[in-house]
Amino acid sequence: MTNKNTATIYFRDEEKQFHLSNEKISYIFNVSTDGKLLQLYYGKALPEKDYSYLIEMHHRPMTTYRQEHDLLYSLEHLKQDFPEYGTTDFRHPAISLRQQNGSRITDFTYLKHKITDGKPKLNQLPATYVEDNSESKTLIITLKDDLTNVELELSYTIFSDLPIITRSTRVLNKGTQTQAIENIASLSLDLPDANYDWLQLSGAWGRERAIKERALQQGIQSIESTRGISSHQHNPFVALKRKNADEHQGEVIGTAFVYSGNFLIQAEVDTWDVTRLRVGINPFGFEWQLKSNESFTTPEAVLVYSDQGLNGMSQAFHKLFRKRLARGKWRDQERPVLINNWEATYFDFNEDKLVSIAETAHDVGIELFVLDDGWFGERNNDHAGLGDWSVNKQRLPHGIGSLAARIRKIGLKFGLWFEPEMINKDSQLYREHPDWLIHTPQRQDHHGRNQFVLNFSMPAVVDNIFNQMSAIIDESKLDYIKWDMNRPLTDVYDSHLDFSQQGEVFHRYVLGVYRLYDMLTTKYPNVLFESCSSGGGRFDPGLLYYAPQTWTSDDSDAIERLKIQYGTSMLYPISSMGAHVSIIPNHQTNRLTPLETRGNVAFFGSFGYELDLNQLTDKEINVVKSQVSFYKKYRSVLHNGTFYRLLSPFNNDEQTAWMVVSPDKKIAIVAHYKTLNQVNRSYQRLKLKGLNATFEYELDNSMYTGCELMNAGLIITDASSGQINEQNKRPETYDFDSRIWVLTAKEN
Ligand code: GLA
């Protein structure tokens, strides 16, 4: 991040016009004569001047108007910045307050505003931040509803050197009566047309974040979570992409929600093709009782504008998430190469077996040993033990401290798996506190994987788990924690809250999760946290604030991972994607892929292994050794460089390619993966991106200019003719083949 503050927020007093701008983007809106916020422009940077002419008011039949005798001013016709329903607008609103008399009609109007350097923190919530006030400017606009005396503080931060605006909303009840917030958006933005394709990342367990696209149409299109976690099904991210935009050029607007619970992102296209984009907590199942003198802060929404296609959007997200969302020591530090025992042993391990894997791991250069599920309580299968975070004496009779010491003596760091939010009924914790699991009184509880969810909206529960985890972290001097979460929430109810507050439980749960993360990361700043939720079920920007990496998917098959990692890279930096080499036949797909390809895919993530190294042949061990040393040599480039997607596995062309370029453009690492061999195929060149056109890059003992590599490209033609004869041998490439090229520049 630079120190030059190019972010500016202009306020034109006469026109009551705000213009947030840096050298990349502009975001402009007016305050109307009756105090409403009217959206004028969002996109590529514009010079500062009066843009009031962009407000269009036309008479339209069968609509309603604000003032008697006037047939022009209708909120339904206007593009707005924080709309309400029922006072001439009929689209979905950014806020809905149910008042004591049952009415949901409000009329929030401009009261005041404040422009400051920097960016204020969000109460109890993860959010992007600045390290120096010169990195951004923030506008806070206060709107007021006179009848209820409720105020809204709309916060807009523009970053200096990123095409990014962040948004959040605070509701303050300055009246005497309690108000029920039924719906509160973090961001609402009306765009003047609907000429976009909607791109979402959706899927399921084992196939997270697949790219799905469709054209916007009149009506509502949305993605959401109702599961209490952000979910495998939909990631809290959407891109609106111009029809002619692709990976490298064209306009794209991306939005992401810094939250780990129920969310809703929707685009409502109205009858005049205005697109209303809405990002926030999911109103479904949500209601917050806001008592007199209380306030409610929404999570943060991030808005990215790119005129350089999807890669341009992704690179802005990556930079923000890597440097100004992730925090702490591990934000900038190289991540250790790890080995995790889950797919190697599952529950079938003892101390000696673990130690022997660790010894081989050390021999090949691995740096961190992670003991996964099964080390605690009576955890001999997945029916028991969750909630009891003390060592399983049957498996590890000498205790966890002793195992940690043995691992450390071998020369490895030591990490452990926890699932802090969960409880099995067969556990000491449940026997002591049967009322601590989330359930609805007098109704049946529903399990997932034989386990139940602890009520993290109760501070006593969070404190108990914190104390249990602290004791283990202290005893084993942990270097790393994998924080798992393996089922969605059902039967959501909290007997400690009033009947009217039951719509608060989902959000209070997420706040409890954040509180535990906050306490642990504060007390143990050196511990590297990796979040996980049956793989990537909670891979969201909210958790990146606490845990700089996430286990990307339980599907560790290299070919499946191409799609998963490609989709995930839409907004998440590759440093945040846990990626492990696993055994073949792969445990999820039964597929046989070459060890080299498994490594070549996992390099583009936080790299590690998840297999029993002692079952590999000597030849395979040598491959592993060279993979580990390759990764160590280039991990700084991989994690600090600029990532470009080149060929998409979603295009059904049997190939994927991506590359990373170091910040000084002197090193580029290019990867090309081929799914199936094809016969007699067309000639193909892969055009590289992001190089310095005038640098000369060395590759396979030849020199190429950046210019030719980016314009003519590397040859990636599959050489097989399909026939074997004297001149044509068997194909040299095979199914699931891959190649990595490292280009090193010599400056002219
Ligand atoms: C989840 C995780 C896996 C592993 C198991 C252990 O499925 O995603 O990586 O930790 O739990 O039970």
Q: DSSP for 50-82?
A: --GGG------TT---SSTT-SS--GGGS-BSS
CATH number, domain containing residue 487: 3.20.20.70
Ligand-binding site membership of 482 (annotated): yes
Q: How far is CA 703 from CA 419, 432, 700, 742, 748, in A?
A: 51, 70, 8, 12, 12
Q: Is the CB of 534 under 6 A from ligand 1?
A: yes
CATH number, domain containing residue 178: 2.70.98.60
Nearest residue to 268 via CA among 434, 408, 89, 414: 89
Angle of helix 400-410 versus helix 459-476 axis, rounded to 10: 50
Do residues 119 and 218 both lie within one domain?
yes
Q: Are 163 and 5 in contact (CB under 8 A)?
A: no
Give, using CA atoms, the residue closest to atom 3 of ligand 1.
534
Ligand-binding site membership of 707 (annotated): no
User: Which atom of ligand 1 has the smallest separation from the CA of 486?
Assistant: 1
Do residues 337 and 439 both lie within one domain?
yes
Q: Is the CB of 554 under 6 A from ligand 1?
A: yes
Q: Is the CB of 372 under 6 A from ligand 1?
A: yes
Q: How confident is the model over 641-661, as pLDDT tens digits? A: 999 999 999 997 789 999 999
Ligand 1 pocket: which of 339, 345, 484 to mutate (most atoms <8 Å of CB)? 484
Q: Which long-range contacts (CB under 8 A, 24 or more apart) does 626-632 make?
A: 627/581, 627/599, 627/603, 628/337, 628/364, 628/365, 628/366, 629/365, 630/599, 630/603, 631/337, 631/603, 631/607, 632/337, 632/365
Do residues 95 and 177 both lie within one domain?
yes
Q: How close is the Cα of 576 to the center of ligand 1, in Å?
A: 18
Q: What predicted TM-score, i.e. pTM, was given to this entire model?
A: 0.98
Tokens 């979910």 found at: 231
Q: How close is the Cα of 534 to the center of ligand 1, in Å?
A: 5
Q: Are 706 and 691 in contact (CB under 8 A)?
A: yes
Residue 484: active-site member: yes
Tell me whether residue 579 is in a domain: no
Tell me whether residue 320 is in a domain: no
- Burial pattern 580-592, b for ≥16 Cβ within 10 A else e, equals bbbbbebbbbeee
Going by the DSSP 8-state scheme, the letter that residue 135 receives in this structure is G
pLDDT at 721: 63
Ligand-binding site membership of 532 (annotated): yes
Q: Are 113 and 11 in contact (CB under 8 A)?
A: yes
Helix (H) or strand (E) holding 543: helix 541-544
Q: Which two tokens stand for residue 634?
A: 């280039």
pLDDT at 515: 98
Do residues 95 and 228 both lie within one domain?
yes
Q: Out of 307, 388, 479, 484, which one is annotated catalytic?
A: 484
Ligand-binding site membership of 554 (annotated): yes
Last residue of a domain, one of 480, 499, 519: 519
Q: Is 665 left (phi over 0), alpha (psi -120 to 50) or beta?
A: left
Tell me whether residue 343 is in a domain: yes
Ligand-binding site membership of 486 (annotated): yes
Do residues 443 and 512 both lie within one domain?
yes
Do residues 303 and 414 both lie within one domain?
no
- Cα torsion angle, 198, 91, 164, 529, sign: negative
Do residues 272 and 123 both lie within one domain?
yes
Q: Is the CB of 486 under 6 A from ligand 1?
A: yes
Number of domains in the chain: 3
Burial (CB count within 10 angstroms: exposed 0-12, middle 13-18, buried 19+), residue 3: exposed
CATH number, domain containing residue 739: 2.60.40.1180
Tell me whether residue 76 is in a domain: no
Q: Is the CB of 550 under 6 A from ligand 1?
A: no
Ligand 1 pocket: which of 554, 564, 587, 610 to mutate (most atoms <8 Å of CB)? 554
Q: How close is the Cα of 482 to the center of ligand 1, in Å?
A: 9
Nearest residue to 482 via CA among 634, 376, 380: 376
Q: Is the CB of 610 under 6 A from ligand 1?
A: no
Give, using CA atoms, the residue closest to atom 7 of ligand 1.
534
pLDDT at 241: 98
- What domain range includes position 461? 326-519
Ligand 1 pocket: which of 229, 342, 383 to mutate (most atoms <8 Å of CB)? 342
User: Which atom of ligand 1 has the smallest separation from the CA of 372?
Assistant: 10
Tell me whether residue 348 is in a domain: yes
**Three-state DSSP string of 305-351:** EECEHHHHHHHHHHHHHHHHCCCCHHHHCCCCCEEECHHHHCCCCCH
pLDDT at 652: 79
Q: Out of 89, 388, 479, 554, which one is annotated catalytic?
A: 554
Nearest residue to 662 via CA among 689, 642, 644: 642
User: Which atom of ligand 1 has the smallest separation from the CA of 417?
Assistant: 10
User: Which atom of ligand 1 has the smallest separation from the CA of 554?
Assistant: 8
Q: Is the CB of 484 under 6 A from ligand 1?
A: yes
Do residues 167 and 298 both lie within one domain?
yes
Q: How close is the Cα of 484 to the center of ligand 1, in Å?
A: 7
Give, using CA atoms, the residue closest to atom 8 of ligand 1.
534
Q: Which two tokens stand for residue 7?
A: 């972010």
Q: Is the CB of 532 under 6 A from ligand 1?
A: yes
Q: Is the CB of 537 under 6 A from ligand 1?
A: no
User: Which atom of ligand 1 has the smallest separation from the CA of 382?
Assistant: 12
Q: How close is the Cα of 372 to the center of ligand 1, in Å?
A: 8
Q: How close is the Cα of 554 to the center of ligand 1, in Å?
A: 7
How many CB atoms are located within 10 Å of the residue 65 CB?
18
Q: Is the CB of 373 under 6 A from ligand 1?
A: yes
Residues of the chain with pLDDT under 50: none
Tell me whether residue 733 is in a domain: yes
Give, using CA atoms, the residue closest to atom 6 of ligand 1.
373
Last residue of a domain, one of 519, 544, 567: 519
Q: Is the CB of 247 under 6 A from ligand 1?
A: no
Tell me whether residue 575 is in a domain: no
Q: Report how far residue 337's alpha carbon sits from residue 357's, in angstroms, rounded to the nearest whole number.
A: 14
Q: How close is the Cα of 420 to the center of ligand 1, in Å?
A: 13
Residue 634, classed as helix, strand or coil, is helix
Do residues 390 and 250 both lie within one domain?
no
Last residue of a domain, one of 519, 537, 554: 519
The verdict on whether omega for the bond into residue 585 sits within 30 degrees of 0, i.e. cis, is: yes
Q: DSSP for 188-212?
A: EEEES---EEEEEEEEETTEEEEEE
Do residues 261 and 394 both lie within one domain?
no
Q: Is the CB of 535 under 6 A from ligand 1?
A: yes
Nearest residue to 608 via CA among 331, 359, 332, 365: 365
Give, using CA atoms, the residue closest to atom 1 of ligand 1.
534
Residue 554: active-site member: yes
Q: How close is the Cα of 396 to the center of ligand 1, in Å?
A: 20
Q: How close is the Cα of 397 to the center of ligand 1, in Å?
A: 23
Q: How far is CA 602 from CA 101, 554, 743, in A?
A: 58, 13, 19
Tokens 């802060």 found at: 297
Do residues 178 and 217 both lie within one domain?
yes
pLDDT at 2: 54
User: Which atom of ligand 1 has the smallest separation from the CA of 533?
Assistant: 8
Q: Report how far residue 189's alpha carbon sits from residue 187's, in angstroms, rounded to the nearest whole number.
A: 6
Give, using CA atoms, the residue closest to atom 11 of ligand 1.
534
Q: Is the CB of 675 under 6 A from ligand 1?
A: no
Ligand-binding site membership of 618 (annotated): no
Tell me whether residue 546 is in a domain: no
Extended beta strands in 457-542, E state: 480-483, 528-531
Q: Is the CB of 417 under 6 A from ligand 1?
A: yes
Residue 473, classed as helix, strand or coil, is helix
Q: Is the CB of 299 under 6 A from ligand 1?
A: no
Ligand-binding site membership of 449 (annotated): yes
Do residues 334 and 300 both lie within one domain?
no
Q: How close is the Cα of 199 to the center of ligand 1, in Å?
A: 29
